[in-house]
Structure 1
Amino acid sequence: MARIVICEFMDERAVARLEAAHEVLYDPQLVGDATRLRAEAAKADALVVRNLTQVRGELLAALTRCKVVGRLGVGLDNIDVPACEAKGIKVIPATGANALSVAEYVIASTMLLLRGAFASSAAVAAGEWPRAALGNGRETAGQTLGIIGFGSIGQTTARLARGLGMQVIAYDAMLAPDAPLFAQAGVRHAGLDELISNADAVTLHVPLVDTTRGLFNAARIGQMKKGAVLINTSRGHIVDVAAVSAALRSGQLGGAAIDVFDVEPLPASAALQSCPNLLLTPHISGVSMQSNERVSFMIADKVMESLK
């Protein structure tokens, strides 16, 4: 019987599946106690984390008997994967399990921002009637969605967008322009600059690496179509949020939805407060009742398989 430490939230039915076969410590608050986490990690054969746990440095050094790290999500920037592999630790992400949740968030945000009419409840309830101001919103059908990063989330987003009648163009630095995947998805490949300058909405689905850090700075946002919308559900540091705020206030951007930030939780920001046409959410695009279940059971099963 192996010992499994789970230091962030996980579907409790998936936890119970692990407990039926192994000794399990499940404490969603453990990530906030670095000293105790290191002590428990030293006794772990498997560690299960989300995005807050930094599996590197002292914590990684404490994993002296660990065989596998399960990641309840897909991004791996909080895990030193090469260092884990050098220690013989297998790193397992929940690839594809939260793709639908993120894709639905992207499509919903796109529709909200293009239409621009869904923040009027307080005004209407107060007796105002901003019909003229809100009557120029854009329908989603016929608009062009640009997807940067065409993995499982990007592909799922494309499928939903095409179902709404959107034109979809996509770019992925890891795929050749003539990769069959684009045609199979009914998507046209576009170069990065072409995509940015032609899309009515741009959504980001790339990992945080050297080539994507600062990808959407003020200059790149300035290359977007005037009035286009930008959605980031990938990672902080990819988008300059201060530049987004400035572009929203100037009208260069028609809207933005930001779910991920350089520092989380996001500190109070004067640049973002009272910013028009801005949706901010606390890193939840990939977290829904259903996706949490899919992610949790996928990782539970894969961790148990790796411990055999």
Structure 2
Amino acid sequence: MDLLIVEPLEDEVTQWLSSRHSVRYAPELAHDPRAFRQALYNVRSLIVPPSVTIDAKALHYAPVLRVVGRVSAGAENIDLEACARAGVEVVRSLTATAQAEAEFMIGALLSLLRRVPVVGSDGMRVGRELGSCTVGLVGMAPSARSMSQLLEPFGSKVVGYDPSLHASDPVWERWKVRAMGLRELLETSDAVCVQLNYFSRYHGLLGERFLPFCKPDQVIVSIAHSGLFDEKALAAGLASGRIAAAWLDSLEPGALDEGRPLATMDTLQITPRVASTTRESRLRSAWAVARRIDELLSLTPAAQAEFKPTTPGVAFDLEAGPVSP
């Protein structure tokens, strides 16, 4: 079988793939791990949702698998290193969701700045305008470029930090973002947007080493993996009021359980990873992934498949293109 589709896709994308390859569309397998593993034996490519884990154990049941596609944002459910060792390429679009994520963060900032008042010079508690704010971008993901473009008409100053980019990298000037160190960014910014790609080495990066230096009354919006935050340091910042409010679009299970530091924070807002999920972004991403899988399947017939392995920790990037083949 050329392709097993477990993640629900738009009909037009599924029909296009079915006209070119042998396809099984079985979203019900996402809820039956045993049946899913059994279905992998003769599958050359997969498209899976966030709820399905692709790790060394799953790959053991997939001897001819060479491509894994991911339409929804994030790839935490896919062990990139295990895929690399198995010669399986991970295909997803890193640009298709950028506009949706940027619009979400802009909306969240407007809401927090207006809804969570601060004390003005006249002693009144009032909201703030985005145009008067310095906005710090942590992580120069594709959504950061969209954020910079959307913030320009507001008149906001935009600064940024990314541990993987040198301050002299031309991307800063091209995206019209002023590079800063993380501590300086937190000390300077009225609002912070976090979209840094998560790797284990960044776990707890936004913790007691940096969060105590946040500019007073700062608001934080994050669409990144919540593991970037140290929950004790974030809770302390919220409790003290130094961080006026935070909005996380992803939070690890159990983080709000009784006894955990963030459990009683009424200035913390959580949404279930909705930033990247819009009708338009899903269609862009689905077409990008479908085209790449079609290309790989067409170039490498089953009898003589030779695929370029995925570099550990780096997913294959796809440029967002038209929404029809």
Q: Indicate whether the TM-score tops 0.5.
A: yes
Name 1:187's counterpart in structure 2. Answer: 177
Please report how far the alpha carbon of residue 242 of structure 1 lies from its aligned counterpart in structure 2 after TM superposition. Answer: 5.1
Aligned partner of 1:233 among 198, 220, 223: 223
Name 1:292's counterpart in structure 2. Answer: 282
Identity rate of aligned residues, in percent? 26
How far, CA to CA, are the matches of 1:198 and 1:58 in structure 2?
Answer: 46
Please report how far the alpha carbon of residue 153 of structure 1 lies from its aligned counterpart in structure 2 after TM superposition. Answer: 1.4
How far, CA to CA, are the matches of 1:70 and 1:134 in structure 2?
Answer: 53
SS in 1 for 2:13: helix
Please give the residue correspondences for 1:96-245 in structure 2 after superposition, counting only pairs within 5 Å.
96-116=95-115, 136-241=126-231, 243-245=233-235
When normalised by structure 2's length, the TM-score is 0.82
Please report how far the alpha carbon of residue 166 of structure 1 lies from its aligned counterpart in structure 2 after TM superposition. Answer: 0.9
Please report how far the alpha carbon of residue 273 of structure 1 lies from its aligned counterpart in structure 2 after TM superposition. Answer: 5.8
Kindly indicate whether the alpha-carbon contact (under 8 Å) linking 1:145 and 1:166 is maintained by their aligned counterparts in 2.
Answer: yes
How far, CA to CA, are the matches of 2:104 and 2:297 in structure 1?
Answer: 35
1:258 aligns with 2:257: no
Deviates more, 1:73-82 or 1:38-47: 73-82
How far, CA to CA, are the matches of 1:281 and 1:185 in structure 2?
Answer: 28
1:307 aligns with 2:297: yes
Kindly indicate whether the alpha-carbon contact (under 8 Å) linking 1:8 and 1:48 is maintained by their aligned counterparts in 2.
Answer: yes
Aligned partner of 1:269 among 243, 257, 260: 257
Deviates more, 1:60-69 or 1:137-146: 60-69
SS in 2 for 1:141: helix
How far, CA to CA, are the matches of 1:181 and 1:255 in structure 2?
Answer: 30
The one-letter amino acid paired with 2:230 is: D
Name 1:94's counterpart in structure 2. Answer: 93
Distance 1:267 1:250, change over 3 A: closer
The one-letter amino acid paired with 2:71 is: L
Name 1:13's counterpart in structure 2. Answer: 12
Higher relative contact order (CA closer than 8 Å, sequence separation 6+): 2
Kindly indicate whether the alpha-carbon contact (under 8 Å) linking 1:249 and 1:276 is maintained by their aligned counterparts in 2.
Answer: no
Which runs of 5 or more residues in structure 1 are unaligned?
Answer: 119-132
Please report how far the alpha carbon of residue 149 of structure 1 lies from its aligned counterpart in structure 2 after TM superposition. Answer: 1.0
SS in 2 for 1:174: coil
The one-letter amino acid paired with 2:4 is: V
Please report how far the alpha carbon of residue 27 of structure 1 lies from its aligned counterpart in structure 2 after TM superposition. Answer: 3.0
Which runs of 5 or more residues in structure 2 are unaligned?
Answer: 118-122, 299-325
Alignment root-mean-square deviation, CA? 2.3
Aligned partner of 1:279 among 263, 269, 285: 269
The one-letter amino acid paired with 2:285 is: V
Kindly indicate whether the alpha-carbon contact (under 8 Å) linking 1:73 and 1:95 is maintained by their aligned counterparts in 2.
Answer: no
Please report how far the alpha carbon of residue 269 of structure 1 lies from its aligned counterpart in structure 2 after TM superposition. Answer: 3.0
Please report how far the alpha carbon of residue 243 of structure 1 lies from its aligned counterpart in structure 2 after TM superposition. Answer: 4.0
What does the per-residue CA deviation read over 1:204-237, in whole Å, with 9 as the maximum and x for residues that have no partner?
Answer: 1122213211112244322211210111111131
